Structures are given as structure tokens and as C-alpha cells.
Amino acid sequence: MSSTIESLLNGKTGKHIFPILSLHGEDEETIRSYIGIIDRANCKGLVLDGRRHPDFCGPNWWQDLDVVLEEAQKRKMRVWISDGLRCPGGAANTALRSAEPKLHRQALVATMLEYKGHARRIILDLWKDFPPHPKSFGLFMKTAMKTVLGTQTFDDDEILAVYAVNGEGQLQRYPVPEKGEDFIFDKPDGDWTLYAVGTTRNLSLEKDYLNLADTDSVKLLIDTVYEPHYKRYPKEFGKSIAGFFSDHRTLTGAFGFDPEMLGQKFAAFPVSDELKSELQTRFGTNWLQKLYLLWDETDTHKEAAANVRFQYMDALTSLVRDHFSYQISTWCFGHNVEYIGCSEELRAAHAFRTFEGYDMGSATGSLDSAVEAVSAGALEPHKSGNSMTVLFGDLGPQEGLRLEKELADRFLVRGINHFIPRAFSPRPSSEGRHLFYAGGNDPQFGHLPALFSYMNRCADLITGGRHVASAAVLYDVENRWAEIGKAGSGADIVNLLSDSSICADLVPSDVFANPDFYHTELEEGLTIHTQSYRVLLIPPCDALPRAVAEAVGALTGTGFPVWFIGSKPTRILGESSTYETERLLQLLEGAEIVALSDITKKMLDQGLADVIVSVAQNSRARSLRVFHYLGSPSLYLFSNESKLPWSGTVTVSDTTDCFLYDAWRNEASEAAVSYTDCGMSLPLSLNPEESIFLILEGLDERLFAKPFEPAKDPLAPSDWVRTILTPQAASKAITTPQPASAGSIASAGLAASKAVTFPDTLAEEIPDFSGIVRYETTFTMEINEPVTLEITDAEESVEVFLNGQSLGIGFRPPFCYNLQPKLREGVNELRIDVATTMEQSDNARKTWKSLFAKKEKPEKGCGITGEVILRRG
């Protein structure tokens, strides 16, 4: 038995959950109490968010941080410090407000004026509408920036080049006019577009933000946030201070940047002096005259536009990696702390390259980002298989533990092994989020430690080793940059394989362009760092990066299968030589073309899949997810992502001793496997949203839990009595470290009790109720015999007590309990506590809703919404 399993069965778990704690300048007692609350929720770390603190990096901040670190040390907790003054992050505390303009982020923009018809002279003021704004926001932007917000305005807007281009790609250059000088455009015959290409720092409502593609700009963040923390707490770095956290980094700040803006009018593209130099190196001295293709919306210059867009984004993301990600991570590494974080905008630009320096793969709340993060964690050596996601809270007060466990399972079965939940805050949320604890008003907080313990146990099992992926799928971001033809989606292919229980990694072209860093080997198949693959899949594309084409040639030369989905590319990105293009395209001849619909069948037929699943007739084939992990111990994780039960047979190539491990109940049981020439087969049945581990090692049978078998004969208890605990009383009850006893809750102030039958109608009786609903009854036993309890449904989380002792917490029906271990002769007291979400009470506080909208029946029930079945014998 591995030490990991031994620790889990003995109730010990790792430290994989560090929620966000927002500080606003609270008093010392409040700060200490919230750290204690986080500790009691089974989190041994936290991310300290100072974006709403009134004195970030000032005397009051240091005073509060002293308290945080002292309390964290006492509780053996670790602290990550968010490096942002506000959201989005990147203000370098307040230093950018007085910093020289060149350190502020800058955008590349173009005024585009279309003229058709005969030749004529046109006189206009190019500076009047420069920089351009999206038409729908132009007036608002100008007004808001100058009058409402009163933010600073930079005077270094610059038009760098003026030229006109016609439909055939002919280009005419013109001198750049001075401000106040008329521009004379002698338009030739035909349709022409006049471009004024330049730079601005005035597109953002808030302009004091970093330029992530500029070394000195990012260094200002290090000097004003990172260095002051190290100067004050040098001995805590690497101890109570675990590292720094960056959140919501942006590139332009205008309306958010996404590569899909390529080819759109009015788009603003990030730029810096280093990026200008790099573009000049790539395009030559006339580089400015090629940039109009960033905004060109036509297909006339398709190939030329693809090359410019690819080269621009390749240069931009490389500079963001080097100047932002690596500069900060190198500083952190040198000071013995970690660097982690996430950002939708950086992910959109390049989900691997822009996070390359981080110590964990970075995911947002989407499952596609989870695949990217887990792949990055496995492929990049310094990440050591670690990945994280910021999860929970975004769905508001209706978000409950049932949904949160469902979300956690989806990320766990894809390999995410660290979690940053949103959020703990001493103040009510102003963003419509679900706050844990919520000043004692969160009815489910008493059940939250059970969820976090479960997540910690699962994460323990998928940390320290490596996962198995049968297929490597090319991360096709370059084709989305270039917009050549119809670029495919690597994430879609990964999801398609996952539907057939086949695990795949996304691999960026950088693994082939920089093989030394990624430890890429092509001589005996495809190996990247710890990952060995059985097939390389390339999504539909018209063009490939050079490094990928060369890798395809090397792999197919050894007989390794490479499949192009749908068709083979006809171009090489960034390659202008016809001879070299033809040479590189010839390297692709050994690869196959496979239809998207045939991928999974072909992999199964050729034995390239790691797991084979046979589905029972009444189950959905695509609902089972499988994650194969090699570690201590090695294992398979199976998760049913359907709302219906799943049953079938899973066949794996292993033939070792094994057992099943239920991480929710923290119980091991026998695995009824049968051994064949192909490995071993396991019959499997999973309830909706249920997960189970198959542990590939032996275990002393004396440690196996007895299987749950419902008793047969109905047992009629006394009448059920319902008592409700108001949110105010719940805040007193749920702050106790252990489940509250009947007496303690009664003393907290309960509403009047009443007899009930099931399903309960509490949601109709009190539509605005949020809190704990208690159901109590008694039954008599003369002899000790099996007694089981089943609750078919409840809203939301359930805890069952027998004779004052907890039998455990459940989040998803059916809720099944074995009562026998806590039975006693004579009268037995049975209690069921159901904790609601905060949705109903939150709606009740919105008084405007009752004034302007008709009060509607709650969507969810409240309390026990199914049947309660008690059996004996």
C-alpha cells in the first residue's frame, strides 16, 4: 500500500486548495477570524487579494499582512499574494500614475478611409479622428475619458505611416502630415483604402497599466510590489509566503484583446518598442507598410495577410513570455517562491507561451482551458505536472455545493490538481458572486469542509507523477492567427476523444521549435518531457509552422502515425521561399488524412487507445470520462458526467493487483476484475455525477469497507417534525468546528416546529427562506440488525445524525446511509439537516425586484424534496 493511500485512509490530506481572501482594511480580529474560517474549511493556504484594500503596499497593508502571516504561521498555512492593485491587474501599485509615458501600455491602431470611383483630389484632417474608436463606443469613450473619469491623457499619439492600397495590392506611400496640417490625397482611379497607421496610449478608460511586451514596464511592477514585500518579509519567503498570484492581465485595455480581432476595423493591437524592432527585423525597413493587413477584412490579400498576422502574433506572444511571464517568474525563483495566475486575455493570445514561466498550468473556469493547463503542466519541465484553476463563485448565490462538487469532478478527471476558489470576503459581494461563509449567512458553510476534503484527497492522488495521454493534438493557435481557410480546433478534437474515454494532450508547435527546453524526442516515437504518445493529430488547417512540418517528416520517417484531420495543409506559415515551401510540404507525404468522424474508431481498431469502454444498453456512451495516472499509486479515475446512471465494462491493459477507492466516502473496496489476454476488465456502475478510483496496487482486505446493501423491510418511524433555522441563527450554528448538537442549534433560535410529510413543501410555504432545515423522528429497535436510510432528493446538501452522531454529508441524490454502526437498543433519535443555498434570501433582499417584477415561484425546492425511506433487516 502506498503512503498516499495510507494517509488518505487515516484522514490526512494534502494542501491543494487556497481560496481567495479579499481584504478591505478590516480590523485585526476580523482578519484572524477569517483565516481561521478558511482553515476550518480544510484549506491550508489562501490567496490574499488586496485589490480592494485602501492602502495596498502602504503602512496599513503591511500592518494587515503582519496579522495574516502571523495567523498563517500559527495554523501552518501558506499565503500567495495577489500582485494587482485592482482588476484587471497590472497597475504596478500606483507607480504608473506618475511614471513616464513610455512605461504605459500602447496600442497599434489604424484609421481606414475607403474611396471608390474616378480619380480626384481629397483634402482631409487625418488627425481629427486619430486614434480611431469603434463607432458604437466612440462618443462615449471620448466623453468618459475627458469629463467623467478625468483620467490622464497622453500627448504622444503618433501617426507612423500613411499609404493607400487598392484591391490588387498596389500600395502608394504619402508623407505623414503634422498636427493641424491638411492631408492631400490624390486618389487614383478605382477602389482605394487610405490607411493612417500609428500608436496611442489613449484607448483605455484607465490608462495606468503595464505594457506586458516591454521589459522596463514589467520591471516597474517588480520594483513596486514584489521587492517591497521581500524587503519586509525576507525570512518568510518560501515559508509562510508561498508565492505571488497574477490575475486578469490585459494587453491593450481598450475593449480587451483577442486574436479574433485580426482582420477587423477599429481593432487595437498591443505594441511596444521591442515589438516594433522585432517586426522591422521580420519584415524589413518597410515593415509599417505591411501592417495594414492586420485590419484588412477582404480575402483579396489572403496569403499576405496570413503571413503578417502570424508574424505579428508570434512576435507579440514571444515578447509577453520573455518580458512578463519569465521576468517575474525568474525573480520569484530567485527568491524561493512560486508564481501562478490566470488571464482570459493572455490565454486567448497563446494558452501555452504566455504562461510558460508560471509554476503551474493555468486554467480558467472552462473545461477547454483545463485541457490546456494540464497539458502545459505535463509538457513544461519546471511545472512538474502541476496545474490550477480559479473555480466557484461566478454563478452567484444560487450556486450550491451540489453544483460545486460537479464542477470539481469535471476538472479533477481532466487532471487539474490545485484549486483557487472564489471567494472569502468580510464584505458582501458587489459582483453577484457566491461568497463562502458570507459573514455567517451561508447555510452550506458547515458542509463546505467535506467538499474541500474530498477535492484534497482526489488531488493528492493525481500529484507527483504523470498522466497517460494516448494522443497528442496540435494546439492550432497559429492558424487562428493567420485565419487561412477554416482553421480547426484542437480542443474540439480532444473533447471528441474524451467522449470515447480517450485522453489526449494539446501540444503547441513550440515543443518542436524548442526541443531542448521541452525535452522533445522524435527518434523512437513522440516523447515530450514525461509524455509519450501513440499518435499525433493535426486539426484542419491550410498552413503549418515550419517546425511542425519538419517534425511530421521526422516522425513519419520512423513509422510513427501522424493524422491530418480532413485535409493536408498547402502552405507553410512565415515561409516566403517557394522552393523551401515545396520541400517542407513534401515532408508531409508520409502522414495520413483521416476524417474527423473516424478518429476514435481508427484509434480503437489500431490499438492506440489506452482504455476500452463497453457501454451497457441503458447508458450514454459519451458520459464516462477516464483519467489514467502513473504515480504512487498508479490509478484510473472514472467519472460519470451524465445526469443519469452509467453502467458498463472498462478494460485496461494493466494486470496488477487493484482495488476501488471512493474519495468521497474515503473508503476502499474490492474491485471485481477479470483478467484476459488484453489486461483486465472491470464492471462499473456509477450514479449521476459520481466518480471512483481504480488503484493499481494491493491492499489488505481488512481495510475494505463493507458494501452498502439496502435493508429489505420497511421501518415505520414516528411522525417527522420539521424545524427551520433562520440564516441569522445558522451563522451561530455553523461557525462551530464540529457539527452542532441538537441543543446548540435549539439555543441559537429555531422557528416553530411542525409535523411534515415528504416531499416537503417548505419552498411554497416560505419562498424567501435560506438556512438549515432540520427533520427529526424516532424509531425503536429491540435487536441490533441492519437499518438503512435513503433520501431520494433534497435541496441541497444533507447531513444525517443518529443519536447525536454524524453519519456523513451528501451533496447528490440518492443519499444513502447505513445506520447500523450508531444504533442502540430501544429508542433511536434520527435527524436530517438540509442546508439550502443563499438564493432565496438573496432575492428577498432585492426590494426593487418586488416593486418592478411579479414574484415568481422558486425554481428550486427547499429541504427534502423527495421521499425518505427507512428499512430494516
DSSP string computed for 669-694: EE---EEETTEEEEEEEE-TT-EEEE
Average confidence (pLDDT) over 88-109: 87
Four-CA torsion 439, 86, 397, 342, nearest 10 degrees: -120
Which grid cell is 546?
Answer: 515550419
Burial annotation 743-780 (CB, 10 A radius, 16+ → b, else e):
eebbebebeeeeebebbbebbeebeebbbbbbbbbebe
Question: Is residue 388's pLDDT more than 70?
Answer: yes
> Which of these, 145, 348, 392, 131, lies nearest to 250 by C-alpha position?
348
Q: Which has the minimum average pLDDT: 17-31, 185-199, 610-624?
A: 610-624
| Grid cell listed for 284 | 524589413
432 pLDDT band (50/70/90 cuts)?
A: low
Contact 774, 725 (CB under 8 A): yes
More confident residue, 412 or 484: 412
Distance CA 194, CA 589 (A): 43
Percent of the chain with pLDDT over 70: 90
Q: Which amino acid is at 249?
A: R
Phi, psi values for residue 397, rounded to 5°: -65, -15
Q: Kindly report, residue by residue over 444-464, the tens digit of the pLDDT.
A: 999 999 999 999 999 999 999
Per-residue pLDDT, 136: 40
- 137: number of Cβ within 10 Å: 13
Helix axes 578-586, 546-557, angle to 10 degrees: 30
CA proximity to 288, closest of 264, 263, 271, 266: 271
> Rg of the Cα trace of the chain?
30
Where are any strands of DSSP class E within 298-434? 338-342, 361-363, 387-391, 418-421
Cβ count within 10 A of residue 3: 10
Does position 310 have pLDDT exceeding 90, yes or no?
yes
418-428: average pLDDT: 90
pLDDT digits (tens, 9 = 90+) for 719-762: 999 999 865 564 454 333 333 333 333 333 445 789 999 999 99
Q: How far is CA 240 from CA 33, 53, 62, 375, 422, in A?
A: 18, 21, 15, 29, 21
Characterize the bridge pairing of strands 504-507 and 471-474. Answer: parallel
Q: What are phi and psi of 628, to 5 degrees?
A: -100, 125
d(C-alpha 403, C-alpha 418), whole Å: 18
90 pLDDT above the threshold of 90: no
Whether the per-residue pLDDT at 319 is higher than 80: the answer is yes
pLDDT of 601 reads 93
Percent with pLDDT over 90 in the chain: 70
H-run or E-run covering 454 = helix 448-461
Q: What integer pLDDT is reported at residue 469 of this predicted model?
A: 97
- 422-426, 561-565, 647-651, 763-767: which is most confident: 561-565
Handedness of CA 433, 436, 442, 445 (dihedral sign): positive
pLDDT tens per residue, range 463-475: 999 999 999 999 9
DSSP annotation string for 328-349: HHHHHHHTT-EEEEE-HHHHHH
Q: How far apart are CA 443 and CA 436, in angstroms?
A: 10
Q: How large is the average pLDDT for residues 334-360? A: 95
Phi, psi for residue 273 in degrees, rounded to 5: -60, -40
**Lowest model confidence (mean pLDDT) among 352-356, 393-397, 449-453, 593-597:** 393-397
Instruction: Identify any residues that bridge with 362 across adjacent strands, giving them in sequence order.
Output: 388
Write down the mean pLDDT value for the chain: 89
> What is the average per-residue pLDDT within 349-354?
95
Q: What is the pLDDT of residues 805-863, one digit of tens each?
A: 999 999 999 899 999 999 999 999 999 999 998 887 665 554 434 444 445 555 678 99
**206 pLDDT more than 80:** no
pLDDT mean over 111-139: 82
Query: Are 195 and 162 in contact, with CB atoms under 8 Å apart?
Result: yes
Q: Could you give the CA distance from residue 434 to residue 445 in angstroms, rounded to a whole number? A: 11
Strand partners, 194: 113, 164
Helices (H) and strands (E) in the chain, counts: 25, 47
Higher pLDDT, 52 or 803: 803
Q: Which pLDDT score, from 0 to 100, does residue 138 have?
A: 47
